[in-house]
Amino acid sequence: MGQWIELKAADGFVFPAYLAKPVGQVRGGVVVLQEIFGVNSHIRAVADGYAADGYLAVAPATFHRVKAGVELGYTAEDITAGAALKAAVEGLPAPGVLPDIQAAIDHAKQAGKVGVLGYCWGGLLTWRSACLLKGLAAAVPYYGGGMTGAAEAARVPQVPVLAHFGEQDHSIPVETARAFAKAQPGVEVQIYAASHGFNCDQRGAYNAAASALARTRTLAFLARHLG
């Protein structure tokens, strides 16, 4: 359904993004932010899914500043490789990869109001985007690794945020998700009886019921704020 395009950030950096065009009535745009595994088949499928629901979906390759063409699976070796790439991007001088996300937001504006959603590391970037970037109308981080820490929880979102967490997530203890909810009373926080990565049907942690419920809530949230 989708295709690869090139986008240019404000600093002139050119990078690839996966673009899935909306089917039927155009409801707006969404930026889909990858996990630590690149814009792989799962992330492309997520973008295609939102396109099928009427959204222009843009998935920028947020590893491109440190390594091109990353597409990993979910083995232990892939997790190690992805974690190293994430660390490399996080170690870039500020503002790091945020200009690339801003370029994706700007591209998605052609479809109307824009939301951003992301998974794992992409969830963290979604949270930062909600607090720091322009042109957004909504943000939906899924189990954003690191976003429940004190420094991230102290940020102030500029748009409505719906945050999904897993109760059995060993990398994001549920106590920290609940503390985040108290620190951010304006954020809608949903906690599921599921593990980290519950939305990904290519991972052992996939939880069909939690994934379906989170997606239903996400679509309603997007319709409310992008419609």
Can you tell me the distance from the alpha carbon of 120 to that of 146, in angstroms, rounded to the nearest whole number?
A: 9
Can you tell me the distance from the alpha carbon of 12 to that of 160, in angstroms, rounded to the nearest whole number?
A: 30
Catalytic residue among 48, 53, 100, 169: 169
Question: Catalytic annotation on 169?
Answer: yes
Q: Torsions phi, psi of 176, nearest 5?
A: -75, -30
Catalytic residue among 42, 64, 107, 196: 196
Q: Which helix (H) or strand (E) holds 189?
A: strand 188-192
To 10 degrees, what angle do helices 121-132 and 98-108 make?
70
DSSP label at residue 68: S
Catalytic residue among 120, 164, 200, 225: 120
Question: Catalytic annotation on 131?
Answer: no
The C-alpha torsion from 30 through 34 and 35 to 41, rounded to 10°, is 110
Give catalytic residues, as residue numbers. Answer: 120, 169, 196
